[in-house]
Amino acid sequence: MFEAVELGHRIGAGRYARELPPLRADLIAAQLQLIRTRPFSVVIILAGMDGAGKGDSVNVLNEWLDPRHVQTYAPAESLARDGDRPPMWRYWGALPAKGEIAIFFDDLYSGPIRQRVYGHVGNSELDQALERNLRFEKMLVAEGVLVLKIWLHLSRKDQKKRFCQLEQAAATRWRVTAEDWHNHEHYQDFHRIAERALRQTSTAEAPWTLIEGSDRHYRELTLGQTLLQALRQRLEAGEARHVVNVTVPPRLPRLDDRNLLRALDLGRDLAKADYDRQLAHWQGRLSRLSRKKGFARLSLVVVFEGNDAAGKGGAIRRVTRALDARRYRVVPVGAPTDEEAARPYLWRFWRQLPTRGRLVLFDRSWYGRVLVERVEGLCEPVDWLRAYGEINDFEEQLVRHQCLVVKFWLAIDADEQLRRFRQREAVPFKQFKITAEDWRNRDRWPLYEEAVCDMVERTSSDIAPWVLVEANSKRYARIKILKTLCQRIAAALRQQRTPEAPARWSS
Amino acid sequence: MFEAVELGHRIGAGRYARELPPLRADLIAAQLQLIRTRPFSVVIILAGMDGAGKGDSVNVLNEWLDPRHVQTYAPAESLARDGDRPPMWRYWGALPAKGEIAIFFDDLYSGPIRQRVYGHVGNSELDQALERNLRFEKMLVAEGVLVLKIWLHLSRKDQKKRFCQLEQAAATRWRVTAEDWHNHEHYQDFHRIAERALRQTSTAEAPWTLIEGSDRHYRELTLGQTLLQALRQRLEAGEARHVVNVTVPPRLPRLDDRNLLRALDLGRDLAKADYDRQLAHWQGRLSRLSRKKGFARLSLVVVFEGNDAAGKGGAIRRVTRALDARRYRVVPVGAPTDEEAARPYLWRFWRQLPTRGRLVLFDRSWYGRVLVERVEGLCEPVDWLRAYGEINDFEEQLVRHQCLVVKFWLAIDADEQLRRFRQREAVPFKQFKITAEDWRNRDRWPLYEEAVCDMVERTSSDIAPWVLVEANSKRYARIKILKTLCQRIAAALRQQRTPEAPARWSS
């Protein structure tokens, strides 16, 4: 794979001086169009061998482009605050808004490759990291992001030559470190493992571009041309996204009236005295569980979804009353801000994730995409269809990172909803809870029902199962929610005591 | 001070049941108007004695109001990631957007008071913390935020009674902790120190409201009424801000032609060979300094301001080339996003602060307020006049927190600017750098000059001095910048070796 970039590509000073100015003019023109029209964002993943000019490439890109719209993101390998959240959290945080360019510098791939070379991880962990990158890139491409993966290469001989050159001149001596020479000794391992990694991750959506790095002129012009062509192609395509033959599978009409929701026994209820007793019991238990020492190593994401007027707010308050205000946050999910709307869908949820020892309660959530956005036609079928996979992937990353994910669907029937709507309209301080939109949603009851059933079917996993809550009785629903939370937390704490526990909790 | 709230205020169940529903209706109506029209944001600072119902108050506010627009912010006392940035960073991060309500729960004041009670800090440190809070509140009020400071009080006798009551019922026993009883033993100290703290911080802009907390009915109705009246008053006032008699001092015309900028010797230059040699020297030195062990305990904020076309971008690139891409971030400052525009002016800069061991380079900065915003009339005189004090305060917080603040003004003269504008227009890939706005700004040269001189006069402190850079020669400017950075970092590293070094660096 690397043969073609160990050929000694070279471009003379004359040709470089001739070709660079028009290239720069074209590049800046393309970028200005990008900034002005904001049709998409660009992520450049830059990796390669030591000494192949990765740092220099970042510099020239910043020189050629308007650097106010280019952000370089190069995470330090160990940051205390990163360790608190799943590894991909930092890349999500660094995603550019539409019109902007981000350079992800030498970590997404070089990190895992280096760890493999030095034997800190095995092949399966390397594969896992690569798979994780691929899913991330696939999501980006599906969200319309232009993803460019560039590998700067250097043969063993050229690497040595480069280091020696830098060391000879006083002006550049500081740029070669002991680590560079140490890596050079392992060149063959880097070569072998990188080749395998690149082969595995060169996909149709986001292929690698290999560039030989030994000659500065060749490297710079090739890099510039690569970026220019990619920008132009996408700008000409307009807002049309790079969707490769996505066929939406035909949807069968349901053959009978049975479904998950209708199978629920919504008649379940609790007497007032029983409710009061159980409420105190489970709130006390939840409070004690959240103060246990082991809880400091967990984090907890709780999702509340449900029909309009199903009682999400009231249930959330019964939970938070048992918690120390310093430990939880309630995140209501409404219309996205412009910073959120300019980035891939899940960005706004990644930015809300709790650190260890904390809870975040989502009042509505990322499931909006497969519920309201699907039913109201706010996104294309291809978008909500891929959302199931992206959501499962998102939740799996949380669970792997010792984050407990608990998801509640609060179900009421149409009669109960009508009763509550009317009741809300009758009480002055509750009128705000009921809007024209709520009545409109009611008309689409069957469509929402279908969307909920699909959602549960496709996203209820054993690591993050849906809990369907019979919510015609608020008392019954609140107790079920508190009890479930306690049981899930207790199970997770027990699991901690097993050394090397797999990152899974069954419900 | 507390006498009036140890009287045993009480409201019967009948009156409570009568008065609560209309109060709730009025509160939610006022909040809906706030959400719809977004004229300002609300910060409720909630503090008080243990057992006085702080937690319950948060709960009822969430029940009475639309909780999707109420965020409770209760920082845990020690968070690793908070320690990386100045203490007020977390409160800045939690500031609500216009239309939103934030409850700052029991830490801004209770934290310092508790530390004083247990002798962890002395009176002067307590005063310092209180002063810091006052400046923060003053800034919020000036930015149009409605600030409500509420202290829930309880006499010693009532506190004991409250804890005993909670412990007797199985349902609430979990709510009383050993720490609560421990604090109770120190009640008199809490009383004395809190009284002093409240006296000191009850200002005209943000006075304390004391509420006796022993009777739930009395407490809730008083809290609700307090919030309602404050909301109504501000909503009726419309967008008009709560500006208390700010007189803009008359501005004397300058009596001669001398000023800081004209005193600069812009003829300074460097020969190419000398430049190349010095560039390599200082880049190498900067690289080594940034890798020193002590640097991991510093953070570094570098501000680049200057005339249009003064060479900020080129200077920044000469600096970043010497740095590990994993350690620095360049923040270009342009138009604010909607999340930024909805919050106090400095919010967007607080969110960009570096953690320890990192550098952030601002390409333009918070000084925009006293430069372009002043000259172009984008804010009121009263806004940019107060900005000097707020900026000094901001930078002082940074410096106190071992963050080195280095500020460069790149000065060129009008002839040199014209030459560069024309040059930019002649080179295709530089044309984007020159816009109609640049030509417009040029017409206002004297106004900008005056603004720059005022800025330097009012914000060049010995802890964060301005460095005026003669930039007619790009070479001279770049070397001066690199050299200054190296010297400031070296001085800061030396200072670290002095134990208990005062948080100051002289330039």
Residues A428, A338, single domain; the answer is yes
Instruction: Check residue B498 and give its pLDDT.
Output: 65
* CA dihedral over B424, B427, B430, B433, signed as positive or negative: positive
Instruction: Enumerate the β-bridge partners of residue A406.
Output: A302
For chain B positions 389-428, those within 8 Å of chain A (CB to CB) are 427-428
Candidates A68, A327, A334; nearest CB to B332: A68
Is A44's pLDDT higher than 80?
yes
Residues B196, B296, single domain; the answer is no
Q: Which residue of B has its CA nearest to A430?
A: B25
Q: Determine the average pLDDT of the residues in A335-348.
A: 92
Instruction: Check residue A267 and give its pLDDT.
Output: 93
In a domain, B17, yes or no: yes
End-to-end CA, chain A: 46
Buried b (16+ CB within 10 A) or exposed e, A221-231: bbbbeebbebb
Candidates A29, A80, A432; nearest CB to B28: A432
pLDDT digits (tens, 9 = 90+) for B423-433: 999 988 888 88
Q: Cα(A188)–Cα(A200) distance, rounded to whole angstroms?
A: 19
In a domain, B304, yes or no: yes
Domain limits at B307?
272-497
| Cβ neighbours of B312 in A, within 8 Å | none
Residues B225, B371, single domain; the answer is no
Q: Cα(A18)–Cα(A22) distance, rounded to whole angstroms?
A: 8
pLDDT digits (tens, 9 = 90+) for A394-414: 999 999 888 999 999 999 999
Instruction: Check residue A434 and give its pLDDT.
Output: 86
Yes or no: say if A103 and A61 are a contact pair by the CB < 8 Å rule. yes
Instruction: Check residue B270 and give its pLDDT.
Output: 95
CA distances from B491 to B356, B464, B499 (A): 17, 13, 14
* CA dihedral over A104, A106, A111, A113, signed as positive or negative: positive
Which range has highest mean pLDDT (A117-121, A134-138, B485-489)?
B485-489
Average confidence score pLDDT of chain A: 89
Chain A: give the shortest CA distance to residue B60, in Å: 10
Q: Cα(A336)–Cα(B147) distance, rounded to whole angstroms?
A: 26
| Cβ neighbours of B105 in A, within 8 Å | 325-326
Residues B192, B330, single domain; the answer is no
Residues A30, A149, single domain; the answer is yes
The separation between CA B428 and the C-alpha centre of its own chain, rounded to angstroms, equals 41
| Nearest residue to B109 (alpha-carbon basis) of B184, B197, B187, B185 | B197
Number of domains in chain A: 2
Could you count the other beta carbons within 10 Å of the beta carbon of residue B197? 23
Q: Which of helix, strand or coil describes residue B469?
A: strand
Chain A: give the shortest CA distance to residue B120, in Å: 21
ipTM strictly over 0.85? no
Q: Are the beta carbons of A74 and B325 separated by less than 8 Å? A: yes
Place of tokens 């280019």: A70
Count Cβ–Cβ pairs < 8 Å, chain A vs chain B.
154
| Nearest residue to A163 (alpha-carbon basis) of A193, A191, A187, A189 | A187
Residues B473, B355, single domain; the answer is yes
B17 touches chain A (CB under 8 A): no
B330 touches chain A (CB under 8 A): yes
Domain boundary among B210, B236, B262: B236
Yes or no: say if A23 and B428 are a contact pair by the CB < 8 Å rule. no
Pairing of strands A299-306, A359-363: parallel
Q: Cα(B49)–Cα(B184) distance, rounded to whole angstroms?
A: 9
Instruction: Check residue B148 and give its pLDDT.
Output: 96
Residues A166, A300, single domain; the answer is no
Domain boundary among A185, A216, A236: A236
A265 touches chain B (CB under 8 A): no
Instruction: Check residue A8 and give its pLDDT.
Output: 85
Q: Are the beta carbons of B429 and A172 separated by less than 8 Å? A: no
CA distances from A357 to A122, A290, B55 (A): 30, 8, 20
Q: Which residue of A has its CA nearest to B103?
A: A325
A14 touches chain B (CB under 8 A): no
Type of residue numbered A84: D
Instruction: Check residue A78 and give its pLDDT.
Output: 45
Instruction: Check residue A244 and give its pLDDT.
Output: 47
Question: Which tokens in the block code for residue B44?
Answer: 């409720």
CA distances from A361 to A85, A329, A354, B277 (A): 16, 6, 10, 58
Q: Cα(A147)–Cα(A131) distance, rounded to whole angstroms?
A: 16
Question: Which tokens in the block code for residue B9?
Answer: 């205020």
Q: Which of A31, A54, A69, A174 to mutate to test the interface with B (most CBs of B within 10 A)?
A: A174
| Nearest residue to A224 (alpha-carbon basis) of A387, A369, A26 | A26
In a domain, B259, yes or no: no
B432 touches chain A (CB under 8 A): yes
| Cβ neighbours of B277 in A, within 8 Å | 171
Instruction: Check residue A178 and give its pLDDT.
Output: 87
In a domain, B265, yes or no: no
Residues B297, B221, single domain; the answer is no
Confidence of residue A237 (pLDDT cuts 50, 70, 90): confident
Chain A: give the shortest CA distance to residue B84, in Å: 10
Confidence of residue A498 (pLDDT cuts 50, 70, 90): low
Residues B450, B314, single domain; the answer is yes
Q: Which positions of chain B have pLDDT values less than 50?
A: 78-80, 242, 244-245, 500-507
* Residue A33 DSSP one-character state: H
pLDDT digits (tens, 9 = 90+) for A348-372: 999 999 988 899 999 999 999 999 9
Query: What are residue A360's phi and psi, to 5 degrees?
Result: -125, 130
* CA dihedral over B220, B222, B227, B228, signed as positive or negative: positive
pLDDT digits (tens, 9 = 90+) for B442-483: 889 999 999 999 999 999 988 999 999 999 999 999 999 999
The CATH number of whichever domain residue A102 belongs to comes to 3.40.50.300
